């Protein structure tokens, strides 16, 4: 049984005061979440403040990126050990904005995934096709390539400590989400690949999140699909109430979120 996971990706939004307020709102609205795990990924600068607000609560936190080296002359970069020191549970890697705006390659992402695992972080690897790739019928080819490359060299036990997110690029920040059927088709395909790359058992336990314009009013229909194990939420994670609603609607059947 996979407990759904709902992660808020705040991107480059919010100073310290806003971060504290937003994290406090989520914490207070989800005091005893049942049937769902929740985490917030604020900008690096807000991580200590968010960690302080969430300490002792069931809500976890994580980062939006990291470097692959442990230390060194890498101006402007953040090492995975630094994130582990701040109590991060997750690190988002291979987000389409990193791939497309910052030209991160599959090789960069694979090194980051391995480094995150070495430091006890759960890498949340994002894969997804562009609108043009979907039009050309390349969706499975693209996500398979990104997954194989991103997990290159990992053993089954390392894959088992990971999280995957299917995030079609055309759905991120556009207000156009994948239909439940479109998302479910790709999630099913990815789960089959996990089985091949790790094991059947790992494929059954590994969480595959959907991301791309998840909102309070479409969260349930997406996350209640059999192979969708929660959501990676961008824009809608910047409003505490909306994010709380998404988390509650993503709770596994039989589980309900109590305040």
Q: Give the catalytic positions in this structure.
A: 95, 167
Do 100 and 112 touch, CB atoms closer than 8 A? no
Q: What mask of x and - would describe binding to ligand PEP in positions 87 to 126, judged by CB under 6 A?
A: --------x-------------------------------
Contact between 219 and ligand PEP by CB under 6 A: the answer reads no
Task: Kindly tell me the burial class for residue 190, based on how many C-beta atoms sit within 10 Å of its own C-beta (0-12, 13-18, 19 or more).
Answer: buried
Q: How far is the CB of 48 from ligand PEP (least distance, A)?
A: 22
Q: What element of type H or E holds 16?
A: helix 16-29
For ligand PEP, the closer of residues 110 and 231 by Cβ is 231
Of 25-44, which residues contact ligand PEP (CB under 6 A)? Answer: none
Contact between 172 and ligand PEP by CB under 6 A: the answer reads yes
Choose the stretch contacting ligand PEP; rule: CB under 6 A; options: 144-152, 187-195, 229-237, 245-253: 229-237
Choose the stretch contacting ligand PEP; rule: CB under 6 A; options: 38-46, 153-161, 191-199, 210-218: 210-218
Contact between 234 and ligand PEP by CB under 6 A: the answer reads yes
Do 246 and 215 touch, CB atoms closer than 8 A? yes
Cα separation, 200 vs 152, whole angstroms: 18
Do 150 and 94 touch, CB atoms closer than 8 A? yes
Q: How far is the CB of 25 from ligand PEP (least distance, A)?
A: 18
Contacts (Cβ under 8 Å, ≥6 apart) of 136: none
Do 210 and 178 touch, CB atoms closer than 8 A? yes
Instruction: Give the three-class secondary structure for 208.
Output: strand
Interface residue list for ligand PEP (CB under 6 A): 9, 95, 167, 172-173, 211-214, 232-236
């Amino acid at each position: 049984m996979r407990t759904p996971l709902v992660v808020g990706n705040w991107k480059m939004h919010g100073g310290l005061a806003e971060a504290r307020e937003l994290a406090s709102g989520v914490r207070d609205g989800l005091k005893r979440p049942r049937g769902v795990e929740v985490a917030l990924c604020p900008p690096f600068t807000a991580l200590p403040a968010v960690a302080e607000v969430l300490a002792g609560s069931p809500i976890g936190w994580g980062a939006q990126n990291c470097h692959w080296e442990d230390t060194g002359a890498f101006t402007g970069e953040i090492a995975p050990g630094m994130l582990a020191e701040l109590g991060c549970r997750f690190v988002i890697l291979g987000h389409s904005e990193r791939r497309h705006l910052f030209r991160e390659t599959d090789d960069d992402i694979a090194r980051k995934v391995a480094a995150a695992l070495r430091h006890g972080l759960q890498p949340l690897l994002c894969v997804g096709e562009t609108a043009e790739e979907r039009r050309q019928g390349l969706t499975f080819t693209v996500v398979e390539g990104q997954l194989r490359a991103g997990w290159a060299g990992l053993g089954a036990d390392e894959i088992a400590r990971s999280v995957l997110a299917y995030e079609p690029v055309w759905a991120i920040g556009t207000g156009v989400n994948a239909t439940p059927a479109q998302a479910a088709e790709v999630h099913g395909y990815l789960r089959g690949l996990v089985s091949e790359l790790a094991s059947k058992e790992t494929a059954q336990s590994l969480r595959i999140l959907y991301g791309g314009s998840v909102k309070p009013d479409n969260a349930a229909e997406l996350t209640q699909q059999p192979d969708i194990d929660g959501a990676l939420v961008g824009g809608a994670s910047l409003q505490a109430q909306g994010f709380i609603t998404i988390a509650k609607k993503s709770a596994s059947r039989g589980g309900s979120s109590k305040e």
